[in-house]
Amino acid sequence: MKKVIIICCVILILVFGGMMIIKNASAQVDLTGIEVEIRGTDKAMYSPQDGVKIQYVVKNTSETARENINVLLKVTHLEEVIYEDTIGNLNLKAGEEIYAEYQWTAPEGDFKGYLIEIGLGDNLGDFAVSDTIGVDVSSTWVKFPRYGYLADFGDKVDTSGKIEKMNRYHINGIEYYDWHYLHHQPLADGITAENPGVWKDWSGREIFGETVAGYISAAKERNMASMAYNMIYAGTDSFFVDDQGNPTEANQWKLYFAEDNDRGSGNFTFRMGLSPSGNGNLFFLNPLNKQWQDHIFTETKKIFTAFDFDGWHGDTVGEWGKMVTADGEPLGYKEDRSPIYYVKDTYTQFLNAAKEALGDKYLSFNPVGAQGIEKANVSSTDVLYTEFWPWDNDREGKAYNTYASLVREVERSMEDSQEKSIDGKGKSLVVKAYINYYKTNGHMNAPGVLLCDAAVYAAGGSRLELGNGDRMLHVEYYPDDHILMDEELRAKMQAMADFIVAYENILRDGQWTTDNEVKIDGYAHGKGGASDSIWTYTRADENYEILHLINLLETDNEWRDERGKKKAPTEVKDVKVTYYTDKEISKVYLASPDYNKSKSTELRYETGADDKGKFVTFTVPNLQYWDMIYMK
């Protein structure tokens, strides 16, 4: 009798359970033809506990109405889901498109990256249809700088529209290139906050103050820092003669080529070009001359009385060899009283003095060619930045011509700057490198752009390449940004931007490079970033072992793709990886800007050991440009 009762109970459970399954299955919403797209967020970064407004669109591309569609939200920090909820319920007519906005409250923690996912389905969990976007919760941009640029200061510019486009890439700092009047006098006479006016730069380009002010206002609404660009040590022709044509005192502050410098003689000067105002020449001044410092700091601070810039972006023209003063003396002296003859050796003293003069304003600085970068790294400058050229050399005399050479400098800058960083972990170097330098038509070449980005971001750095709305630099004169991204590259760059924000805490938050050995079955690979191989670049921090796979299969390892001819790497699938580590691994995750909308995917793994030590093995489902595997 007891057995009969048990059997009857089991049958009832199966019957009613089956009915429930049938009922649930019949209640499932048909999402065929339904799409969701996250359009953006209202700011480039947020302070802890800020409201994060997320704009999204749900479309019904089918010819059938759909009802009772749940809109679901999931927020992850690295591999951990920290928040999820149902945020709406929609009925969609055939062909209908609905725009919506949702506000999520950011957590308390500062300097954290998150991945927001909005999806459609019946229940929380894995969504049938979804889209993602990155969100940076940081109280200041200097921890995770994402630098962009502006160069269009003409009349009636759509300043808000350009800033809105830049916001989609989470740009949180903007370099205002050639906005100024003259290098030695960045603010033109008569320009005030009440009268922003119009002036001409050295080339005769009209600069509209209302446009500059409009950009700054729109940027502040998006939590973007606005940085006023200028040279740290340059004056044009009119600085060196007075109204009567007599030489001014500034002539005594000039730099001169030393007698044993074979790169030039006399004044250190550049011819910029024809100038309607007669200011077509740049003359360079000694950065350690106190009178010059007083002059340029005073003139720079005048900027902030007229425009609400957040700081100064100082520029240089690189290192040109041994220099002396107008009197043939050293430029200054180091702490040990040894003489300074090279401009790059003036950077630490100059930048510290500039930061002190600026007070609460930000300071960023470009030691062109990374010449003297080690001097900038240990200064009080807030944001590290350099413009790389493939013919310049690093501290050991190795050329900056490969992806690995950029990675090496990003690593060193992080190490050099730890003492002067806000959290002791070091500063993230912003890398400017003109990829398609000689391209004159068509679009930017995606493989060159994406591989350079992958290398720099994997090492903990950042890039300056996007700006003026959604344009991209390819040469050093920013107004010449007419080689555009096509739609495919634009989408890739948005995905890259989301990825580096969402995973900033394991990309550039105190990680260090390791020598863990990696094996990949069936493909050339190695830790040096060689052409025609998979680059196995290993990093770590207190919580994770990190493996970056950068795909250079059937392409080269030079970052300069001058004419846009670099081949895309060969995409590979089901890549079996063996990673050697002494740590006990509990979870293995894959995240990539190229795969699964940057969401972390848990990978199955096995452990083992051989004569080289303990290891974990796993299979990477897809490698297009860059995969990051992080192991807990």
The rounded distance, in Å, linking the Cα atoms of 620 and 603 is 8
The rounded distance, in Å, linking the Cα atoms of 354 and 293 is 8
Q: Do domains 34-137 and 512-631 have the same CATH topology?
A: yes
- Measured in whole angstroms, the distance separating CA 281 from the mean position of its chain's CA atoms is 33
Q: ∠ CA(59), CA(498), CA(532), 5° rounding?
A: 115
The rounded distance, in Å, linking the Cα atoms of 630 and 549 is 11
The rounded distance, in Å, linking the Cα atoms of 212 and 23 is 61
Could you give the residue ranges of the DSSP H alpha helices within 330-438?
A: 347-358, 373-377, 403-416
pLDDT digits (tens, 9 = 90+) for 269-304: 999 999 999 999 999 999 999 999 999 999 999 999
- In eight-state DSSP terms, residue 592 is B
pLDDT mean across residues, the chain:
94
Q: What pLDDT, on a 0 to 100 scale, did the predictor assign at position 26?
A: 31
pLDDT beyond 60 at 435: yes
The rounded distance, in Å, linking the Cα atoms of 561 and 443 is 13
Cβ contacts of residue 492 below 8 Å, gap of 6+?
446, 450, 593, 594
Average pLDDT over residues 309-324: 98
Out of 2.60.40.1180, 1.10.3720.10, 3.30.360.10, 2.40.50.100, the CATH code matching 512-631 is 2.60.40.1180
Beta bridge pairs of residue 131? 118
pLDDT digits (tens, 9 = 90+) for 54-66: 999 999 999 999 9
Could you give the residue ranges of the DSSP H alpha helices within 185-263?
A: 209-221
Length of the chain: 632
The rounded distance, in Å, linking the Cα atoms of 515 and 492 is 30
What percent of the chain stands above pLDDT 70?
95
CB 99 within 8 A of CB 57: yes
The rounded distance, in Å, linking the Cα atoms of 210 and 205 is 15
The rounded distance, in Å, linking the Cα atoms of 364 and 541 is 27
Beta-carbon neighbour count of residue 51 at 10 Å?
11
- C-alpha distances (whole Å) from 281 to each of 202, 269, 274 are 9, 7, 9
Kind and range of the H or E element at 364?
Answer: strand 362-365
pLDDT beyond 60 at 18: no
Kind and range of the H or E element at 68?
Answer: strand 66-77
Q: What pLDDT, on a 0 to 100 scale, did the predictor assign at position 123?
A: 64
pLDDT beyond 90 at 10: no
| pLDDT range class, residue 124, cuts 50, 70, 90 | low
The pTM assigned to this predicted structure is: 0.93
Q: What pLDDT, on a 0 to 100 scale, did the predictor assign at position 11?
A: 37
| pLDDT range class, residue 30, cuts 50, 70, 90 | confident
Choose among 113, 117, 116: nearest CA to 126: 117
- In eight-state DSSP terms, residue 238 is G
Q: What pLDDT, on a 0 to 100 scale, did the predictor assign at position 447?
A: 98
- C-alpha distances (whole Å) from 334 to each of 297, 331, 342, 483 are 22, 10, 12, 45
CB 478 within 8 A of CB 472: no
Average pLDDT over residues 577-605: 97
Q: What pLDDT, on a 0 to 100 scale, did the predictor assign at position 127?
A: 84
**Domain limits of the chain?**
34-137, 147-432, 512-631
Gyration radius of the chain over CA positions: 28
Domain spanning 34-137: which superfamily? Immunoglobulins (2.60.40.10)
Average pLDDT over residues 426-445: 97
| pLDDT range class, residue 125, cuts 50, 70, 90 | low
Q: ∠ CA(491), CA(496), CA(501), 5° rounding?
A: 130
pLDDT beyond 90 at 23: no
Choose among 258, 279, 562, 548: nearest CA to 407: 548
pLDDT beyond 80 at 335: yes
pLDDT beyond 90 at 461: yes
pLDDT beyond 80 at 21: no
What dotted CATH number matches 147-432?
3.20.20.80
The rounded distance, in Å, linking the Cα atoms of 615 and 520 is 13
Average pLDDT over residues 536-547: 98
pLDDT digits (tens, 9 = 90+) for 345-397: 999 999 999 999 999 999 999 999 999 999 999 999 999 999 999 999 999 99
pLDDT digits (tens, 9 = 90+) for 470-529: 999 999 999 999 999 999 999 999 999 999 999 999 999 999 999 999 999 999 999 999
CB 121 within 8 A of CB 72: yes
- Measured in whole angstroms, the distance separating CA 99 from the mean position of its chain's CA atoms is 29
pLDDT digits (tens, 9 = 90+) for 387-434: 999 999 999 999 999 999 999 999 999 999 999 999 999 999 999 999
pLDDT beyond 90 at 13: no
Kind and range of the H or E element at 36?
Answer: strand 34-41
pLDDT beyond 80 at 577: yes
The rounded distance, in Å, linking the Cα atoms of 151 and 480 is 9
The rounded distance, in Å, linking the Cα atoms of 282 and 230 is 12
pLDDT beyond 60 at 467: yes
Q: What pLDDT, on a 0 to 100 scale, did the predictor assign at position 453?
A: 98
Choose among 139, 179, 156: nearest CA to 43: 139
3-state secondary structure of 76: strand
The rounded distance, in Å, linking the Cα atoms of 565 and 570 is 15
pLDDT beyond 70 at 2: no
Per the rule left: phi > 0, alpha: psi between -120 and 50, beta: everything else, 612 is alpha
pLDDT beyond 60 at 7: no
